[in-house]
Amino acid sequence: MSFNYLPLTDAQRRDMLSAIGVSGMEDLFAPIPRELRGFELALPSGHSELEVQQQLNRLAAQNRPLSAQRSFVGAGATLRFRPSAVDHVASRSEFSTAYTPYQPEISQGTLQVIYEFQSMIAELTGMDVANASMYDGASAAAEAALMACRITHRHRILVSETVHPEYAEVVRTYASGPEVAVETVPHRDGALDLEAVERLLGQDCAGLLVQVPNVFGCLEAVRAAGQLARKAGALFVVIADPISLALLEAPGAYGADIVVGDGQGLGNPVSFGGPHLGFMATRQEHVRQLPGRICGMSVDTRGKPCFTLTLQAREQHIRREKAASNICSNQALNALVATLYLALVGKTGLVELASVSVQRAHHLADRLVGMAGLELAFPSQRFFNEFVLRADRPADRVLAELADRGILGGVPLSRWYAGSERDLLVTVTETNSPEDLDAYLAALSASRRSSAQERSVEVPATAVDHATV
């Protein structure tokens, strides 16, 4: 089939512009600042394919991949061990080209993977049912907040200050449309302030969102927080690190109503901060309020096992006003990677790598606090594999000095929290060898000596004034 497009006449163009209330084409671009219009891109002239490849290779060579450095960076995007078989299987064309099962009856392989993913997430979280993945942990948290509102018919959400600030910001963005009030519960010494929770909870509160381990790496008093939420008739939403669930008690065991999180650490690379996948699980009585889709196992007309999309509570499949969410898809390929990772690592392997992460994190923390000018920001709190290190000078300066020595030393908390200019979040995983820990300590010690020498040769301002005179 071909189409013939006839150009508009001047009269037709004037009529169209008049119909929308503008006098000319320039008016259509009026909202764009004038300094951003009318400039020419300084693009080089064309080159051959070979020349382009060579130039791109030169540019790529300037990159320093995370895997080529000693990385102690976390805060939601963490370098972890990835079995080579994960990429080998996930890169097969039938998987890597599959977008999402719009025709589920002919997508049995994809549906089976989704079913296995759901089953693994349900087992990790201790919940009854999980959906077919979300975009990322932040959007999953936001969807959980709105889900709590639908279930309780209330319109106020409490979010702990120790929830990752970017997650909290996404929750606020989602909540702004349906006019759901989002309030922040302050922390006390790096953990949720339970007295503040009890004070802020009320009969109009739909849910309480708590992260464990929290953004500071600390372990929250989740059982007490859940009891307070239930007492007020609110749902208890837990944002969990899936790797930590190999050692920590499953949220379902201490009363969580909804469990969400990010699956980047489950075999997905950091990849410049994305893409991620989110997971979401809940109790059976709330299954029809889960956003997205749920894959189930059944039998076909011949009695053979098959997989199907059991629930699809999204606006493209049911009436818009009855849809749980307008989320349109799931991170199918990333969920496949997570499923392959969990299957390859297994229960024993997951416990082992989580244990190694915890042991090495505590070993590094113990040695760091023995150095002059360094301390833990929250020494009274238990932590998993992340901790906040407080220096006697700006964290940005410390990190820059470590980077000069080939070490990504952590994440400065000042990017999110005012008054935290000396605090940096240090993350340790199974990928950080004992040699990496020694290198971190040596680099930090060397940078401190350099700073001390610089201070010792500084000339007092009065001496400079006299010398000038």
DSSP state letters, 35-59: GGSS----PPPP--HHHHHHHHHHH
Q: Write down the pLDDT at residue 464.
A: 34
Q: Helices 137-152 and 165-176: crossing angle, nearest 10°?
A: 50
Sign of CA dihedral 406, 409, 410, 411: negative
Sign of CA dihedral 342, 345, 349, 352: negative
The answer to whether residues 71 and 408 touch, using CB atoms and an 8 Å cutoff, is yes
427, containing H or E segment? strand 423-427
Looking at this protein, which amino acid is placed at residue 239?
I
185 by DSSP, 3-state: which? strand
pLDDT, the chain, mean:
89
Closest C-alpha among 77, 410, 433 to residue 269: 77
Q: Write down the pLDDT at residue 461.
A: 45
CATH architecture of 84-342: 3-Layer(aba) Sandwich (3.40)
- Tell me the pLDDT tens digit for each residue of 282-341: 999 999 899 988 899 999 889 999 998 887 755 556 666 677 777 767 788 899 999 999
Reported pTM: 0.84
CA distances from 107 to 96, 119, 146, 355 (A): 13, 18, 30, 38
How many C-beta atoms lie closer than 10 Å to residue 224's C-beta?
Answer: 14
Topology, domain 70-74+346-447: Aspartate Aminotransferase, domain 1 (3.90.1150)
User: Where are the chain's structural domains?
Assistant: 70-74+346-447, 84-342
The lowest-confidence range among 223-227, 237-241, 290-294, 430-434 is 290-294
Q: Where are the alpha helices (DSSP H) in 201-331?
A: 222-231
- Tell me the pLDDT tens digit for each residue of 54-109: 999 999 999 888 878 899 999 999 999 999 999 999 988 878 776 666 666 777 88
C-alpha to C-alpha distance for 205 and 154, rounded to whole angstroms: 6
Q: Write down the pLDDT at residue 403.
A: 93
Q: Could you tell me how many residues make up the chain?
A: 469
In b/e form, how buried is each residue of 271-281, taking b as 16+ CB within 10 angstroms?
eeeeebbbbbb
- Tell me the pLDDT tens digit for each residue of 342-376: 999 999 999 999 999 999 999 999 999 989 889 99
How many C-beta atoms lie closer than 10 Å to residue 449's C-beta?
Answer: 10
- For 182, list phi and psi in degrees, rounded to 5: -120, 120
Q: Give mean pLDDT, residues 25-35.
A: 86
DSSP annotation of 460: P
